[in-house]
Amino acid sequence: MNTLVVDAHVRIGQHREAALSVEALLAAMDRTGVDRAVVAPSEAQIAYDNRAGNAATTQAARATGGRLVAYAVANPWRGAAALDELAWAHEQGARALAVDSALQGFDLLDGLVDPLVRFAAEHRWPVYVRTGTPPGHLPLPTAALARRFPEVAFVMGRSGATDFWIDAAPALRHAPNLYGDTSYAPWDTVLGEFARDPEIGTSRLVFSSDQPYATAVGEMRRMRDWLLPAHERAAVLGTTMAGLLGLEKEPPA
Q: Which part of the chain contacts another protein (CB under 8 A), choosing from 38-46, 128-136, 212-220, 224-232?
A: 128-136
Examine residue 163 and tell whether it contacts another protein (CB under 8 A).
yes
Chain-centroid distance, C-alpha 199:
21
Examine residue 102 and tell whether it contacts another protein (CB under 8 A).
no
Select the residue interacting with another protein from 22, 138, 152, 190 (CB under 8 A).
Answer: 138
Examine residue 84 and tell whether it contacts another protein (CB under 8 A).
no
Rounded least distance, CB 61 to another protein, Å? 35
141 touches 132 (CB < 8 A) = no
Rounded least distance, CB 133 to another protein, Å? 7
Examine residue 176 and tell whether it contacts another protein (CB under 8 A).
no
Q: Which residues contact 30 (CB under 8 A, 6 or more apart)?
A: none
Select the residue interacting with another protein from 56, 94, 153, 169 (CB under 8 A).
Answer: 169
Q: How many CB atoms lie within 10 A of CB 65?
A: 9
Using CB under 8 A, count the residues that bind another protein.
22
Strand ranges for the chain from DSSP E: 6-11, 13-14, 19-20, 36-40, 68-72, 96-99, 127-130, 154-157, 178-181, 205-206
- Using CB under 8 A, which residues numbered 19 to 58 contact another protein? none
Q: How far apart are CA 29 and CA 26, in angstroms?
A: 5
Examine residue 143 and tell whether it contacts another protein (CB under 8 A).
yes
